[in-house]
Amino acid sequence: MPERMGDMRESSVMEKMTTPERLEKMGAMHEAHMTAMQSLMKERHEAVLTFYNQLNPDQQKIFDAQSWSFHKCHPMH
């Protein structure tokens, strides 16, 4: 519920802005969100590589097959 309250407070702030101000604010929020997502993706990428490099060749083959199978079933877009 606190997130919802934050949304309501944000809404009242946005309500008082002009359209260009709202567009600027929403653009900044979008940029912050994208930066955070890119950071999380980079961390995940590095963690997977660290884990993968610790596997022996047979384990890597299994991991490769399993991770590809997952991506085929859960495409990004």
CA distance 55 to 61: 9
The pLDDT score that the predictor gives to residue 49 is 97
pLDDT digits (tens, 9 = 90+) for 4-56: 445 656 788 899 999 999 999 999 999 999 999 999 999 999 999 999 999 99
Domain that holds residue 20: 2-73
Within 10 angstroms of residue 60's Cβ, the number of other Cβ atoms is: 13
Number of domains in the chain: 1
CA distance 62 to 68: 10
Is the pLDDT confidence value at 2 over 50? no
